[in-house]
C-alpha cells in the first residue's frame, strides 16, 4: 500500500470499527480522527462542543486530519464532518484513497441508538442525519468507492477496502 486509505461516511456507518480491521490486514497503522481529537484535548467530543462550540471542534478536527494525512501508510477513520472543510478534503484527496461507507439513515440511527453510549452532539436534533447527509453528500460522492454497510459485517467489508480490490472495482 503506497498511500493511506481514508474511510468517510455518516456516524454509524462503520468507519471506526473497520479501520483497525483493514489496518491489521494490511499491516499498517489505524487512525481515528475523533479519537485523536479526544486524546489531544483531554476531553470528550461532547465536552469540546460544550466548551468550544462546533467551530472549536472543527479546528481541532482539521488539525487531526492534517496529522493523519502525514502518515505515509495508514487506514484512517474520518469524523463524519471532517471533509466539509476544503483544506481537509484537499489534504485527504492528496494523501490517499477515499472510501465512502454508507447505509440508510434508519440503519445508521439504529446503530447509534444501540452504540457505545457516546454522546454525539451533532445528532441531538431531529432530522440531523438527513440534514448531514444532504450537506456532506457532494464530498462523500467523490470517493473512489461506495460500500453499503447496512447488511454486511466488518469482516465482509474489509476485503473490499484493500487497495487492489478498490482499483479493480474502480475499473469495472
| The pLDDT of residue 48 | 94
Task: Return all residues near 28 (Cβ < 8 A) that are at least 6 apart.
Answer: 1, 73, 74, 75
Copy the grid coordinates of residue 34.
Answer: 475523533
Confidence of residue 117 (pLDDT cuts 50, 70, 90): very low
DSSP letter for 27, please. T
The CA distance from 102 to 147, in Å, is: 6
| The pLDDT of residue 149 | 94
Confidence of residue 119 (pLDDT cuts 50, 70, 90): very low
Q: Per-residue pLDDT tens for 56-113?
A: 999 999 999 999 999 989 999 999 889 999 999 999 999 999 999 999 888 887 777 7
Instruction: Confirm if 50 and 43 have CB atoms less than 8 A apart.
Output: no
Q: For the chain, how many structural domains are there in total?
A: 1
| The pLDDT of residue 98 | 94
Task: Domain of residue 49: give its range.
Answer: 4-171
| The pLDDT of residue 111 | 77
Order the strands of the 96-102 sheet from edge to edge: 29-32, 74-77, 4-8, 96-102, 145-148
CATH of the domain at 120: 3.40.50.300
| The pLDDT of residue 121 | 54
Beta bridge pairs of residue 98: 6
Q: Per-residue pLDDT tens for 27-49?
A: 899 999 999 999 999 999 989 99
User: For residue 165, is pLDDT > 80?
Assistant: no
Burial 83-106 (b: 16+ CB within 10 A, else e): bbbeebbebbbebbbbbbbbbeee
Q: Per-residue pLDDT tens for 145-159?
A: 999 999 999 999 998
Amino acid at each position: 500500500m503506497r498511500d493511506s486509505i481514508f474511510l468517510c461516511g455518516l456516524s454509524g456507518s462503520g468507519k471506526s470499527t473497520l479501520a483497525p480491521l483493514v489496518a491489521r490486514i494490511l499491516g499498517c497503522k489505524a487512525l481515528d480522527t475523533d479519537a485523536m481529537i479526544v486524546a489531544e484535548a483531554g476531553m470528550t467530543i461532547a465536552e469540546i462542543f460544550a466548551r468550544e462550540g462546533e467551530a472549536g471542534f472543527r479546528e481541532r478536527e482539521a488539525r487531526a486530519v492534517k496529522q493523519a494525512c502525514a502518515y505515509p501508510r495508514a487506514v484512517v477513520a474520518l469524523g463524519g464532518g471532517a471533509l466539509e472543510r476544503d483544506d481537509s478534503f484537499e489534504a485527504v484527496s492528496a494523501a490517499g484513497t477515499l472510501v465512502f461507507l454508507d447505509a440508510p439513515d434508519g440503519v445508521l440511527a439504529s446503530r447509534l441508538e444501540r452504540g457505545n453510549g457516546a454522546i454525539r452532539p451533532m445528532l441531538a436534533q431531529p432530522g440531523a442525519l438527513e440534514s448531514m447527509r444532504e450537506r456532506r453528500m457532494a464530498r462523500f460522492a467523490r470517493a473512489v468507492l461506495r460500500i453499503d454497510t447496512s447488511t454486511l459485517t466488518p469482516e465482509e467489508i474489509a476485503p473490499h477496502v484493500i487497495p487492489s480490490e478498490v482499483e479493480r472495482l474502480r475499473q469495472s
